[in-house]
Structure 1
Amino acid sequence: MSILYNTDGHIAVITIANARRANSLDKQHALDLSEAWRAAWDDRNVRVIILTGEGDRHFCGGHDLSIRDDVTPEEHEFLALERIFRPPSGYINGFQTGIDGGMADHFPRIHKPVIAAVNGWAVGAGLYLLLASTDIRIAAIGNANFRFGLISRGWVGAGPGATMLLKQLRYADAMKMLLADETVDAEEAMRIGLVNEAVPADQLMPRALELAKRIAEMPPLATIKMKEFVHRFSDLPVEQAWNVQAMMNFLLLQTTQDAQEGRTSFLERREPNYTGEYSGLEGFYENLTDEERVRLDELKRQIDW
């Protein structure tokens, strides 16, 4: 398998497993990665995801830029122009649309917390996978390196790397990465705010798992809504964003058991036990048979119930 997907309790681990080709992404790898994101999104038991690469040299070396030998130069030129002027349905900026509906299939903005365990180089598409799809980033000292990697080839990049660097870093730091196209190591990445932590390589996955376990203890419906708020509404003017946040909070208070558990456990001075259940429907889904769950999940994708 080119993309490994494993779960342990409430934690899913997605591993880009193409080390012999720098964990680069060709079309099949992109589709497989998209399916892994979809599996994590749809699994009710998954509360947090760790994204990493195979080996200790590359997190993701970008897209596989080799040209297929069954495509003629004329066909390649025609298809490149078609992508701009007549993109196929279900595509955005040349990429197949992802499960979030706004970004590409292999770097979606999933509404569950995502931790990047950056084990090696993140360059080109590997960098904007990091920027678009991950929330908390841990880098392995001595192994992790970051580079835009496109302007030195004469490109500004078809992906959202430049846009997201400017949104997530200070202007001067983002422009240095974009224009000088220099390599940024783990410790410099932490200094400029590209990653949260830089740790020894042998502590990378243990630290990622430690954080994942901490986040998995949080109320899952609240974390989903927090990420949705950040992705969809945080660029609004303050008054409008605040209004959306307040409505989300009211919804959580009125409809989730976890919101009540948070208050009760605080008053009783005990650790909370968050289940992700809806108020008045405690145990409903958990007590269904496998067949009943499949039917309910199918109904959820329909609009006529």
Structure 2
Amino acid sequence: MSTDTSPIKTERDGPILLVTLDRPKANAIDLATSRIMGEVFRDFRDDPDLRVAILTGGGERFFCPGWDLKAAAGGDAVDGDYGVGGFGGLQELRGMNKPVIAAVNGIACGGGLELALSADMILAADHATFALPEIRSGTVADAASVKLPKRIPYHIAMELLLTGRWFDAPEAHRWGLVNEVLPADQLMDRAWELARLMASGPPLVYAAIKEIVRDAEDSRFQDAMSRITQRQLETVDRLYSSEDQLEGARAFAEKRDPVWKGR
């Protein structure tokens, strides 16, 4: 999926895909990089042999500072072609029904924080810092304005959006923005540990969970439940008709570990 000169490095270990944004000096994302990321995550989504992805940044200082302002000054339009999946290839990618872990290894600000918010779990190195500084440059953190008030207390989200202030990993953990804060030298080990745990789980169930969560985000409880029980969601309908669901019941009855086949 990647070459030595690509700003996106990929490493495949069985059912797990490691995606590293490696674009010195700061891992900022320009239009070309965003399009590559979209292709990488689209291929991950569509590959039946891949089950979990880890997203991290190259180096020790930056996860991602977001939009490449130097590229913008050189002609990259803010409203240009980001490719499939929108900015960073992940936050608008339709049908992403596989778990994604963000391993934030340093500064994550602006679009970089929005990229992390697109993951299902966020791990942070203890030196990682975060901010949404768009307010200071006269623009809006659009994706964060949609997502952040749904993830953390409203008034805290609004403070971060309206002031653009920096906050550290322990504060991010306190508000529930990140799952865990780890010493830098343990970050990737923990990410791989979680990825292997999920890769050993039932992929059809994960897909159903992710679609249910997306569908229910702006729905009334009973409307969401009706769509689930009436099998109106594709992933739920597939799960309820699958070999894996029967396997889960049989494994429980036989007191053994299930063998998930994804079908």
TM-score, length-scaled by structure 1: 0.77
Query: Which residue in the other structure is 1:19 paired with?
Result: 24
Query: Which residue in the other structure is 2:122 paired with?
Result: 137
Q: Deviations over 1:125-152 (max 9, x none)?
A: 1011111x2010100002x111001112
Distance in 2 of aligned mates of 1:26 and 1:138:
24
Matched, 1:2 2:7: yes
Q: Quick one: which of 16, 37, 41 aligns to 2:41?
A: 37
Matched, 1:220 2:203: yes
The one-letter code sitting in structure 2 at the alignment partner of 1:258 is: D
Query: Which residue in the other structure is 1:204 paired with?
Result: 187
Q: Deviations over 1:51-81 (max 9, x none)?
A: 000011111111111256775xxxx9xx78x
Distance in 2 of aligned mates of 1:170 and 1:12:
32
The one-letter code sitting in structure 2 at the alignment partner of 1:122 is: A
Query: Which residue in the other structure is 2:3 paired with?
Result: none
Q: Deviations over 1:69-100 (max 9, x none)?
A: 775xxxx9xx78xx5xxxxxxxxxx654635x
Mapped contact 1:98–1:105 kept (Cα < 8 A): no
Distance in 2 of aligned mates of 1:118 and 1:10:
21
Q: How does 1:145-156 map to 2 (within 5 A)?
A: 145-156=129-140
Say which one has the larger Rg: 1
The DSSP-based 3-state class of the residue aligned with 1:270 is: coil
Moved more, 146-155 or 190-199: 146-155
Distance in 1 of aligned mates of 2:143 and 2:74:
29
Q: Quick one: which of 148, 159, 172 aligns to 1:165?
A: 148
Query: Which residue in the other structure is 2:97 paired with?
Result: 111
Query: How far is the alpha carbon of 1:6 from its aligned partner?
Result: 1.7
Query: Which residue in the other structure is 2:261 paired with?
Result: 275
Same amino acid, percent of matched pairs: 38
Distance in 2 of aligned mates of 1:46 and 1:250:
20
Query: How far is the alpha carbon of 1:253 from its aligned partner?
Result: 5.3
The DSSP-based 3-state class of the residue aligned with 2:70 is: coil
1:154–1:9 CA distance, 2 compared to 1 (3 A) = same
Mapped contact 2:208–2:239 kept (Cα < 8 A): no
Q: Quick one: which of 263, 274, 292 aligns to 2:249?
A: 263
Query: How far is the alpha carbon of 1:252 from its aligned partner?
Result: 4.4
Query: How far is the alpha carbon of 1:179 from its aligned partner?
Result: 1.8
Moved more, 222-231 or 262-271: 222-231
Unaligned runs of 5+ in 2: 1-5
Distance in 2 of aligned mates of 1:263 and 1:67:
54
Distance in 2 of aligned mates of 1:68 and 1:261:
52
Distance in 2 of aligned mates of 1:128 and 1:250:
28
Q: Quick one: which of 49, 58, 61 aligns to 1:57?
A: 61
- The Cα RMSD (Å) is 2.1
The DSSP-based 3-state class of the residue aligned with 2:156 is: helix
Moved more, 203-212 or 164-173: 164-173
Mapped contact 1:95–1:105 kept (Cα < 8 A): no
The one-letter code sitting in structure 2 at the alignment partner of 1:53 is: G
TM-score, length-scaled by structure 2: 0.88
Q: Deviations over 1:255-279 (max 9, x none)?
A: 21110111000011111110112xx
Distance in 2 of aligned mates of 1:170 and 1:70:
38
Distance in 1 of aligned mates of 2:13 and 2:71:
38
Distance in 2 of aligned mates of 1:250 and 1:69:
46
